[in-house]
Amino acid sequence: MSILVLLIILLILSLFLRYYLVFTFKQRCISRYVSIPHHSLPHRVVVSIPVRKNDINKLPTLLTSLLTQSIRVDEIALNMASDISKEDITDMDFISKCAMIYYTGKEYSQVDLAIIPTLLREKEADTLIIVIYPDEILDRDHLQRVINQ
């Protein structure tokens, strides 16, 4: 009986430690993002991410990889599919601190959801729009390589 109690306590402590480490890492990523060098282009750079309901749980990982890039972009835009509401979004506090959330209100295909809502919002013709899908995890220099192309 005492071994079982000990195992349960260890399990609870490990879950708490994991939650604490993940939470503090996310907060550090957010606070450090502003100190990352801004991109070198003379115009806006926007990362556009299409989000369907089954993609919501992938957002924290993707956003963390965006926040740890070697350069900072002007905007990270989440284009939410028409069937997503605020209540559907898990980890809303972290996500809303990292990105602009746009509810499209219209049904688009996955490819159209990635680009059309962002094109409609961006007024400057020379804005660079980089499409990233929710199941991607980016290495540190991904955006820099895209901009340099």
What average pLDDT does this structure show over 102-130?
91
* 61-85 mean pLDDT: 92
pLDDT at 22: 57
Distance CA 135, CA 149 (A): 23
pLDDT at 120: 93
Burial class (CB in 10 A: 0-12, 13-18, 19+), 13: exposed
pLDDT at res. 141 = 95
pLDDT recorded at residue 121: 93
Three-state DSSP state, 115: helix
- For 53, the 3-state DSSP assignment is helix
pLDDT-derived band at 75 (thresholds 50, 70, 90) equals very high
What is the reported pLDDT for 50? 96
Cβ neighbours for 138, distance < 8 A, ≥ 6 positions apart: 62, 65, 66, 69, 132
| Predicted confidence (pLDDT) at residue 44 exceeds the cutoff of 60 | yes
**Confidence tier at 84 by pLDDT (50, 70, 90):** confident
